[in-house]
Structure 1
Amino acid sequence: MLNFQTLAVGLAIGLGAIGAGLAMGLSNGKAYEALGRNPEAANAIRPNFLLGLVFAETIAVYSLLIAMLLLLH
């Protein structure tokens, strides 16, 4: 029988992964759109784009950490 702890773990990691995936997909699309419009600005766009990807990835890492804490507690 499925208890609420395993349900919470599944929701934590699932929703965190969905959020991170959407954030990274949208930021990729907008960055490539900006590069397509203005290729000369690649050196200015790239660092901000990578920093945004790092922040989006932390959503997935934090949700994994929360899921592990829920599972092991």
Structure 2
Amino acid sequence: MYRTSFYHFLMTLRQPDSPTAVEQFANNAFLDSTFPKQSQDFDEISKYLEENANYLPSMTIFDDAWQLYLNKME
């Protein structure tokens, strides 16, 4: 079964007006030119965010977004 990348899924959550934490993460990831756009791997994306994403105030936000991704991919 084909799974879309996490980044592609995340882009569907972008919200310009009064975004939730996950939607703000999506907005900021859109502006991050080095985000691993093709990845479907939790560990790879998590490591990238921990080392590079100063726009993500808490990894819990990523965990919440990842769970939404998994639910959508089921």
Q: Which has the higher contact order (CA 8 A, sep 6+)?
A: 1
TM-score band, normalised by shorter chain = 0.3 to 0.5
TM superposition score normalised by structure 2: 0.36
The structure number with the bigger radius of gyration is 1
TM superposition score normalised by structure 1: 0.36
